[in-house]
Amino acid sequence: MNRFFLALLFALVKAVILAGGLGKRLRPYTDDRPKPLIEIAGRPIIEWQIRWLKRYGITSFIILAGYKKEKLIEFIGSGEKLKAQVAFLVEDEPLGTGGALKRASHVLQNDEQFFVINGDIISNINLNTLRILDEMIAISLVPLRSPYGVITLDGDKVTRFEEKPILKDHWINAGIYLMSNQIFPYLPDRGDLEKSTFPKLAEMGKVKGVKFPESYWRSIDSIKDMEEVSDDIMRGQVYDWRADDD
């Protein structure tokens, strides 16, 4: 499938950004703003996400907002400054990722497929490789990054130290999904996708996992994450971000 056709196809696909969380682990940065507005390398997380998604021809976004929603609306507005079309759906009380997405069913029910992205990640995963046929969801998988240094032993002798390696035999959910509109009956009114919907669909054989062993992916969960990902972006390890301004 050539690049032009993919761009045309994805231009018709919406992306939903889950942006309603409280971001408790990033306080005090999230005392006055939602987590997706935390700045990484001089730009909010959600701006990096929209720029990344636009590289695949996606220009229509639905942002599911909750905590400090007025800040998100003020920053993004209609999306014009990011050359995108943006609509907001807000929740007055936390509904979880599944409940928030279910509330968006009325604006997505006529879309055969749509992307859903967690609002706290920075990635360069190639969306062109996400496909679903009989499945209801394709989940992006990335290797587990150990939070600790790992030691190799030969008997009781230490032979090697490896600081926070990427464990390529273990895969984690990257929070980047391609979903079918058939998923809505399986969403909870209140609760998280990972705890309710995904296990149920996995038992039905309706979940596809797509591995991305070499792609860049980080979740912003701590101040250290903010610092490290900012450095990675400035060093060009995520993508050539300067090209976005051309």
Where do the domains of the chain lie? 3-245
Strand ranges inside the chain, DSSP E: 14-19, 39-40, 43-44, 60-65, 85-90, 113-118, 121-123, 137-145, 150-154, 157-162, 166-180, 207-211, 217-219
What is the 8-class DSSP label of residue 225?
H
- Mutual orientation of helices 69-76 and 45-54 as an angle, nearest 10°? 50
Label residues 12-45 b or e (16+ Cβ within 10 Å = b). Answer: ebbbbbbbbbebeebeebbeebbbbbbebbebbb
**Residues listed for the chain:** 246
pLDDT confidence of 25, banded at 50, 70, 90? confident
pLDDT of residue 118: 93
Preceding amide of 188 cis, omega within 30: no
**Nearby residues of 71 by Cβ (< 8 Å), 6 or more positions away:** 32, 33, 34, 37
Residue with tokens 């984690």: 172
* pLDDT at residue 153, rounded to an integer: 83
Residue with tokens 């979880």: 96
81 falls in which pLDDT band (50, 70, 90)?
confident
Given this model, what pLDDT does residue 65 score?
86
Structure confidence at residue 59 (pLDDT): 87
36 backbone dihedrals φ, ψ, rounded to 5°: -65, -10
Mean pLDDT to the nearest integer, 238-243? 72
Please state the φ and ψ torsions of residue 158, each to the nearest 5 degrees.
-80, 125
CA distance 164 to 149: 5
- Residues 110-131: pLDDT tens digits? 888 999 999 999 999 999 999 8
Burial class (CB in 10 A: 0-12, 13-18, 19+), 160: exposed
Q: What is the pTM of this model?
A: 0.85
Q: How confident is the model over 177-231, as pLDDT tens digits?
A: 999 999 999 999 898 998 889 999 999 999 999 999 889 999 998 888 899 999 9
Does 140 or 12 have the greater pLDDT score? 140
The number of helices, as runs of H, and strands, as runs of E, in the chain is: 7, 13
The yes-or-no verdict on residue 146 having pLDDT over 80 is no
Confidence band of 150 (pLDDT split at 50, 70, 90): confident
Enter the CATH code of domain 3-245. Answer: 3.90.550.10
Q: Which two tokens stand for residue 109?
A: 């029910």
